[in-house]
Structure 1
Amino acid sequence: MGHGHGHATAGAVHRKRLMIVLPLTLSVLVVQVVGALLSGSLALLADAGHMATDAAGVALALFAIWIAGKPASSRRTFGYQRAEILAAAVNAVVLLGLSGYILIEAVRRFANPEPVGTTVMLVAAVAGLIANGIALWLLREGQQDSLNLRGAYLEVLGDLLGSVAVIAGAIVIQLTGWYPADAVISVIIALLILPRTWKLLKEAVDILLEATPKGVDLAEVREHLLETPGVTDVHDLHAWTITSGVPVMSAHVVVDVETFSQCGPLLDRLHECLAGHFDVEHSTLQLEPAGHVDHEGARHLWPGDSRPGATG
């Protein structure tokens, strides 16, 4: 017996903001690429490369939101909502690759410093700082709700910090003439990207592997369900996430004979429990009489499962 609700993905709610951020990011990308070529700055080129990844990430996010909004079918019962998580994972992998390239090139430049045109470097970095500040403001709210938007937000944040670092590097070179500062700033940009990107990738992989949603304790869920009058046991309890903001749950619920004949009100109470206590709006519960578990086929056990022999 199931209980279903329609969901607009968290990313879709903020689509318009992404549509503003994309052309803004592309404009700054052009400025920074031209600036890097004219100035010879690796730091500015690294920031431009990050902007390119940022633009690709936002474009990918918009595509994922569009495809996630396509209706469900008999072949894809949750539609394409998981596409948002795939987009977040791709963004993270690309960012990790970019960071590696920047680090390698920075080491080469540090060993063999090259002259840098600081005026062009400074102007392009300031333009990037302003644009990234606007984009960050546009995405600040949506990144709390959507993993995909969080990926775009983290990329823009990295760009903004990168622009600050490039500005600092340009000023240092202007004042001291120490060209290795450009390579040092490049390393700083790469190191700013790595930790947040790794966290994003880990969260995306957890969802793709259908790990229990963060903050959900299945043992606590089971205890709440068992407190419902008429429920004598709960087993085959599973929880996972389809996409950001869409957790789902399923369970086999054993009820006594008297309650089994009045399953409608019981289902309402169980679904209200899951939605109210654990924010799970989509749950599938199989009601069954005592003893049914003894002749069930495939059994999916976890360490907290209540059935005899449930060892994980």
Structure 2
Amino acid sequence: MGTGKPASAELARSHDERSSSGHGHGHGHGHGHGMSVDADRRWLAAALALIGTFMVAEVTVGLIAGSLALISDAGHMLTDAASIVLALVAIRLAARPARGGYTYGLKRAEILSAQANGISLLVLTVWFTYEGIKRLITPPEVEGLLVFITALVGIAVNVAATWCISRANRSSLNVEGAFQHILNDLYAFIATTVAGAVVWLTGFTRADAIAALVVAALMAKAGWSLVRESGRIFLEAAPAGTDPDQVGRQLVARPDVVEVHDLHIWQITSGESALSAHVLVQPGADCHAVRGDLERVLRDEHHLRHTTLQVDHSRPEPGTGTHCDDPHGTVHRSGRA
């Protein structure tokens, strides 16, 4: 009785109506609106143009100067460019409407992009760490002045690219992944500038290898963060900062609610979470009114708008049999019988 789960056709229609009115899905970002998506694409494309142009020049100068720090920066910029391309592709895929077997659409393409960015950073970390240690042991000749000048130009390019991506929607883990790539590259260029100045002014060529190791450390930090956050979404963990037990206790404390079980909270993609639960209410209570009250609490206090609540009476009424005798997961009871 009053389950809150209409027949499939009605559910699909309800889903479309909620989505069109802006109340069905809790998008923390603007990817539900064409204008915002187009703006994201423009900012990402501008950053890509800056990075691609400078990367070619940096590889050339790095080879001439014999600088691992510059080449490592160029390698990092290559992953920057790849991360932006992935982000652009993911934004296009995520914007496609849900159809067929993909009931959420392709929204998780953004998370695939973020995870690919994180893994690429970790792989590059291993290679640059190896090369940096090797050059610490046997330092090659490095043209310090050339490294210094190129790194200064690199700082300017990365500041511009970082600004471009910061203007896009960073609540998306996909865009945040590209942003972290660019931001870490900016830090890397600062380290390379210092290394170039040291080599130029003192002749201490190991400074170049030390700068490359600093770059590797920054890559490891950013890469692990992206892999961890995207992994949480793939494993359908609750959003960071959301405690399912606390949510369950809050729901069961509402008027007429006797028990809450089969409670699941997960992220569909960054900025879009979902919840489902089975709720038992006191005999004779208005299931629809209780469900409306719970949806309001979830929406206003936990920013959960994509919710599916099955609401039944705590004891089966004649001819129904809606009582769940085998609940799964943590069971929250109010003490009201």
TM-score by length of 2: 0.84
Q: 1:278 aligns with which of 289, 302, 308?
A: 302
Q: Deviations over 1:153-205 (max 9, x none)?
A: 11111110111111111111111112111111111111121122212211110
Q: Distance in 2 between matches of 1:76 and 1:10?
A: 21
Other structure's SS at 2:332 match: coil
Alignment partner for residue 219 of structure 2, among 193, 213, 231? 193
Instruction: Confirm or deny: 8 A CA contact 2:145 2:197 kept in the other structure.
Output: no
Does residue 269 in structure 1 map to residue 288 in structure 2? no
Residue 136 of structure 1: how far off its partner (Å): 1.6
- Give the conservation status (yes or no) of the 8 Å contact 2:128–2:213: yes
CA deviations 1:37-58 (Å, max 9, x no partner) are 2211100000000000011011
1:300 aligns with 2:328: yes
The SS at the match of 2:198 is helix
AA paired with 1:15?
R
Q: What is the count of residue pairs matched by the alignment?
A: 301
Aligned equivalents of 1:293 and 1:264: distance in 2?
Answer: 17
CA distances 1:280-304 after superposition (whole Å, capped 9, x unpaired): 01000011121444445xx531xx4
Per the alignment, residue 310 of structure 1 pairs with none
Structure 2 residue identity aligned to 1:125: A
- The equivalent of 2:116 in structure 1 is 90
Which deviates more from structure 2 when the two are superposed, residues 6-15 or residues 100-109? 6-15
Q: Residue type matched to 2:155 in 1?
A: L
Shift of 1:9: 7.4
Paired with 2:30 and 2:202, the residues of 1 have a C-alpha distance of: 46
The residue aligned with 2:29 is: 10
1:99 positional shift: 0.8
Distance across 1 between alignment mates of 2:170 and 2:112: 18
Aligned AA (1:272) = R
Query: What is the aligned counterpart of 1:45 among 71, 76, 79?
Result: 71
Shift of 1:245: 0.3
Q: Note the aligned Cα RMSD (angstroms).
A: 2.0
The TM-score with structure 1 as length reference comes to 0.90
State the 4+ residue runs in structure 1 displaced beyond 6 angstroms.
none
Q: Relative to structure 1, is the Cα distance of residues 193 and 105 closer, same or farther in structure 2, using a 3 angstrom cutoff?
A: same
- Match of 2:76, SS state, is helix
Q: Which residue of 1 aligns with 2:319?
A: none
Query: Which of 279, 289, 313 in structure 2 is aligned with 1:289?
Result: 313
Q: Percent identity of the aligned residues?
A: 36
Per the alignment, residue 176 of structure 1 pairs with 202
Find the aligned partners of 1:11 and 1:57 in 2 and give their Cα distance: 20
Amino acid at match of 2:266: W
Q: Distance in 2 between matches of 1:128 and 1:32?
A: 8
